[in-house]
Amino acid sequence: MKKLGFGLMRLPLKSGDGKDIDLEKVKEMVDLFMAHGYTYYDTAYVYHGGFSEVAFRECVVKRYPRDSYTITTKLPLFGKPDRAGMEKIFEESMTRLGVDYIDYYWLHAMGKDNYAHAQKVHAFEYLQELKAAGKIRHIGFSFHDSPELLEQMMTEHPEVEYVQLQLNYLDWEDGWVRAHKCYDVATKFGKPVIVMEPIKGGSLANPPKQAEKILKDYNPDASCASWAIRFAASLPNVMVVLSGMSALWQVEDNVSYMDDFKPLTDEEYEVIAKATENIKFAIPCTACRYCTDGCPMSINIPEVFALYNNLKRDLGRRWQYKDKYKELLKTSGNPDSCIGCEQCMNICPQHLEIPKLLAEASADLV
């Protein structure tokens, strides 16, 4: 399998509604991806409010033979489903995807709380039953927590075949994400790694100017995103690196260097290390959008944080981001209306104190 995967969580939209996916644009992206020999797609029950799975059915399943692609989707435990609830979610995913079996079926966003619930409702055993019945081919989980918990899960569930980790050069030695240590745990247990957030929600495709200059001075022709994807793909225990592509040009860029993939050289690692020293974000949001679907005030949390990060790193254009914030509020709930219900915090893979951060961002953006 080629090391580039298509992440279906940031698909092009026809409007501001995250469910309003532009299927014709997705088909163009899929066709180019497939034409270059790539086969791995990743979605989840919750992506695009459930419409990511539908988009996959319309753009891939109905247009390509079943043996030409592999699909991953995930069972969310955020809402604490019981056995009947898990069965309902799985059947809905099968219907949305329009397939007879799922290649990789994983427990979604495992952390301390979700793992405790998984143990309580025997979620891992449920996945094993699905595999025995031929409804899924491989078992795994995506993970957002400590290397210590990952080691515990790997020890207690040797049936797991793969793990999906947040891994990028900025988070590699980060004190909270600890991507390097999590990668080492997976490698120790002989479990291949699927990489999510290699570009950290797109932020490494557009890093601060000084970091961008370092990368461009070394290789003017290479996109900033390519450095991030290649960093992840260069790790020997990485099976595939997901790219959450939202435009045809992003597919074109990715295949341009992944078709004939070359691991990073020692000199390139040094360049990345220098660039990393010049990258800081006020809020480490990856724009996964898990927080938005259940927000009772319809606040576009990732976009607020993106504007705030841009404002903080580009103070000379504060007015521009303030104007964009005013435009955002015409179609999104106002952060000042946040009621502090904390549903967003309970589901955030980065464990951000979202209500507090929304107040800080709003105060600076008005």
Spans of the chain, pLDDT less than 70: 314-317
- Asked if residue 43 belongs to a domain, the reply is yes
- Residue 293 pLDDT: 80
Judge if 195 and 322 occupy the same domain: no
pTM, whole model, 2 decimals?
0.88
Judge if 109 and 148 occupy the same domain: yes
Tokens found for residue 282? 């006020």
Judge if 267 and 329 occupy the same domain: no
Judge if 97 and 225 occupy the same domain: yes
- Residue 316 pLDDT: 62
- Residue 251 pLDDT: 98
Domain total in the chain: 2
Residue 35 to residue 77: CA distance in whole angstroms: 36
- Asked if residue 149 belongs to a domain, the reply is yes
- CB count within 10 Å of CB 315 equals 8
Judge if 324 and 187 occupy the same domain: no
- Asked if residue 140 belongs to a domain, the reply is yes
Judge if 353 and 260 occupy the same domain: no
Judge if 260 and 328 occupy the same domain: no
Judge if 347 and 215 occupy the same domain: no
- Residue 25 pLDDT: 98
- Asked if residue 288 belongs to a domain, the reply is no
Give the domain extent around 107.
Answer: 4-276
- Asked if residue 283 belongs to a domain, the reply is no
- Residue 5 pLDDT: 98
- Residue 210 pLDDT: 93
Q: What is the CATH number of the domain that holds 129?
A: 3.20.20.100
- Asked if residue 213 belongs to a domain, the reply is yes
- Residue 314 pLDDT: 67
